[in-house]
Amino acid sequence: MACAGPASSGRPMEKRVTFDNRLLPYLLLTPQLVVTIVFFFWPAAQALYQSLLLPDPFGLGARFVWFSNFEYLFNDRYYLQSFVTTAVFTFFVTLVSMSVALLFAVMADQVIKGAGAYKTLLIWPYAVAPAVAGVMWLFMFQPSIGVIAFYMKAVGIDWNPVLDGGQAMTLVILAAAWKQISYNFLFFLAGLQAIPKSLIEAAAIDGAGKWHRFRTIIFPLLSPTTFFLLVVNIVYAFFETFGIIHTMTSGGPGQSTTILVYKVYSDGFVGQDLGSSAAQSVILMVVVGILTVIQFRFIERRVHY
């Protein structure tokens, strides 16, 4: 109970505002704790437990099979290939969504007239659900019905993501990145506005050009934001993109856009193989955990707070 904070001191000379109630800190933490337990710890524990089970076809009973779900997965070379696919997808989604968002934020930061309208419009796509975003991109780029695909073919581009794995991957990366740009934009803009103007003005007086100021002052001072967004974007690409994949490619052609989380979704919810799906979730959880630790150990060192 030593960690109860300011409430533990009862000295009369204390000038700070203190709360003597020992329960209050816990009470204030309760909402967040409840949310974390109900929406993270409980499902995670369920996934761990289910990953050791083989449920029957109608989900009425299950057999305990130890680690055979994991054994099955790691013997499947298509599953292993899906790690590579996920890495490519995540790298480009993060790169595209963060760099475009940074560009927009820098530009929006300089806008004087109608800044509010620009900002609102740039933030808008964040409200679009992934599956809906997928369908919208499909309406533009699906080779049979897509409006833009029609003009691409008209000017002679051999556009067929239905059979060309590289084009399919490009398409899902763009759709997934587009959806995340808004979120990144918001944080980058806030980060930019927190940089003291005096620093930039001083550099300008010293004769530093626009690019030089950005590279040596603005970008380093944005590094906490960039680091935070890097973690968030990787988690986004890993976990929240199955709706986009499902509506746009179903993981195809072949397995060229089958990322790990899509396989979790399709094996679990379409194929009803909950044991394997749970085992895949556990693996995914471990992978993202490791990635986050790596980021905090090695990349965070270069962040200036």
Partner 1 sequence: MLSLPYNSSTPVLYINKNALEEAGLDPEAKPATWPEVEEILVKLKEAGSECPLTTAWQSWVHLENLSAYHNAPFATEANGFAGTNTELAFNGDLQVKHIDKMGAWAKDGLFSYSGRRNEGGARFRSGECAMFTESSAGYAGVKAEADFPFTVTNLPYWPEAEGAPYNTIIGGASLWVMSGHEAEEYAGVAAFLNYLSSAEVQAQWHQDTGYLPITTAAYDLTKEQGFYNENPGTDVAILQMTGKAPTENSKGIRLGNFDQIRAIIDEELEAVWQGQKDAKAALDEAVSRGNELLRRFEQSTR
Q: Least distance from C-beta 170 to partner 1, angstroms?
A: 16
Residues within window 242-261 making contact with partner 1, judged by CB under 8 A: 250-255
b/e map of 238-248 (b: 16 or more CB within 10 Å)? Answer: beebbbbbbbb
Tell which one of 267, 278, 282, 283 touches partner 1 (CB under 8 A).
Answer: 267
Q: Tell whether omega for the bond before 43 is within 30 degrees of 0, i.e. cis.
A: no
Q: CA 192, CA 220: separation in Å to the nearest integer?
A: 11
Neighbours of 189 (CB within 10 A): 22
Under rule CB under 8 A, how many of the chain's residues touch partner 1?
A: 30
Q: Least distance from C-beta 176 to partner 1, angstroms?
A: 20
Q: CA 11, CA 132: separation in Å to the nearest integer?
A: 59
Q: Return the bridge partners of 64, or none.
A: 53
Contact yes or no for 66/55 (Cβ under 8 A) = no
Q: Least distance from C-beta 29 to partner 1, angstroms?
A: 41
Window of 143-151, 186-194, 206-214, 231-239 that interacts with partner 1 by CB under 8 A:
143-151
Q: Least distance from C-beta 68 to partner 1, angstroms?
A: 8
The answer to the question of residue 142 lying near partner 1 (CB under 8 A) is yes
Q: CA 207, CA 75: separation in Å to the nearest integer?
A: 61
Pick left, alpha or beta for residue 5 (phi over 0 → left; psi -120 to 50 → alpha; otherwise beta).
left
Structure tokens at 264: 């979790």
Window of 13-21, 72-80, 185-193, 292-300 that interacts with partner 1 by CB under 8 A:
72-80
The answer to the question of residue 55 lying near partner 1 (CB under 8 A) is yes
Tell which one of 70, 72, 126, 239 touches partner 1 (CB under 8 A).
Answer: 72
The answer to the question of residue 121 lying near partner 1 (CB under 8 A) is no
Residues within window 268-287 making contact with partner 1, judged by CB under 8 A: 270-273, 275-276
Where does 41-92 show beta strands of DSSP type E?
A: 53-55, 62-64
130 vs 146, beta carbon nearer partner 1: 146
The answer to the question of residue 162 lying near partner 1 (CB under 8 A) is yes
Residue numbers of the site for partner 1 (CB under 8 A)? 54-57, 63, 65, 72, 76, 78, 142-145, 162-164, 250-255, 266-267, 270-273, 275-276
